[in-house]
Amino acid sequence: MHPVLLVPELQGLEKNVYDTLARRGGSGLSQAKIIQLLELRPSSQSSVSRALAKLGASGLVEKSGTTRDASFNLTSEARWFSVPSHLRPHVNYDPMRFRSYDTDAGPWLDPAARALMADSVGQGGLDLDPSTYTREIAERFLIEMSWASSALEGNTYSLPETEALIKYAEVAGGKSEVEVQMILNHKQAIGWVIDNIATAQITSETVMRLHAMLMRTLVRQNNLGAVRRDPVSITTSSYSPSSDHAELSMGLSELCWKASMTRDPFEASFALLAGIAYLQPFIDGNKRTGRLLSNIPLLKAGLPPISFVGVGRAAYGIGMTTWYELADTKYLSKAISEGYAITAPSYLVAATTKRVPRSIEIRMRRRLDDAVAEYLNRAVDDPAMTPDDFATEAFADIEGEDFDVIVQSFSDIIESISEVNCVAYGVEPDLVERYHEAKAGGGPAHR
């Protein structure tokens, strides 16, 4: 958690000490001076010491000097954010953030955050294929991200209300038309990503298409998917994005190219999320575009998507601000990775329990059953025969992708065949038992 997020929770003496140091604007104070400014009795020294120790442990206060001559001050981060955004030093757009970005030598995703994301899906993860997502998994991602991404923009729809709107077109009472449109736009754009993940590329054109879908009716028609020519401002930050159309177009192309060349899908995902937000290439809707775009590298790598459920709005906002103004991605990395760690495992579980049949499996259902029975019978006498070798010969007349699918399906069936599930393929348990005996013994098993 960013130390600044703790400030609203401060109470009593700790809050008074923090406010006193904040008013000094960077000038360190001795403990005696703090007691004097707070108009406390000298006997309050131990209480002030405890308050300073707690503020230090929270990352809000730092100590310098020896014990006797020690002075206390807010940490650089706490000092920076103790000043309202409109009074902080002005920070201009820096094109070198993109030009000098090296995904291998200088990744933007904090190593600890990257490790957390990788650990949440296990070593090697699970190869999820979005093109074969079950309706339930795809629908869940669509609903969760539509809700969470919209909530990060201040949308007041609850998750159940979002589900009702997406699935049944039920508009919740008391909600604005803008909120309804925001969620429906997310539905369309997320659906497009799922449907086109096999061919979608990380290019400027893809970014523009996502923006057009996400911002339909929310910006003027001529701004949909168009790199802006007008200035924008960020109300919660002292950062000013570029207003140069050519510079914005170049930055977008450079970001997409580097992200597309990145071998690590976690780094590519974070780079797109952070990069689009920093560049602000569109008149509005930049962060929501970056959030959806960040899912493409994950989905293409067979990893669970990031729905942004579990990403705290305050932590996300502070993370963005430190990235805008201080070029520090640590807190944004932390907010994103912690949210991903909450949801990714549940997508893996759902994927292992549900599966959508391919059309070739439906068409070849009877032939597949016959092949399973034939292989088991032959393998009883020839245990060295492999499922792949048998299937390659048995389905040699099938071409292209259908051949790969049916061979893989056959191999999966044989690998998990048991005396219980064999009935699904019209095979007798006795045959399966003899098959396993032959495999275990390395020779024919007859009764």
290 is in an annotated binding site: yes
Residue 288 annotated as binding site: yes
285 labelled ligand-binding: yes
Annotated binding residue 287: yes
Report whether 73 contacts 62 (CB < 8 A).
yes
By the 10 Å C-beta count (0-12 exposed, 13-18 middle, 19+ buried), 302 is classed as middle
235 is in an annotated binding site: no
Question: Is 352 labeled as ligand-binding?
Answer: no
Q: Where are the alpha helices (DSSP H) in 83-157?
A: 96-99, 111-121, 135-151
To which residue do tokens 């949308």 refer?
155
Q: The dihedral of CA 409, 415, 419, 421: what is its sign?
A: negative
Question: What 8-state DSSP symbol labels residue 69?
Answer: T
Q: What is the DSSP string of 339-406?
A: HHHHHHHHHHHHHHH--PPPHHHHHTHHHHHHHHHHHHHHHHH-TT--HHHHHHHHTTT--HHHHHHH
Q: Are 252 and 281 in contact (CB under 8 A)?
A: yes
Burial of 153 (0-12, 13-18, 19+ CB in 10 A): middle
Binding-site positions for ATP? 284-291
Binding-site positions? 284-291
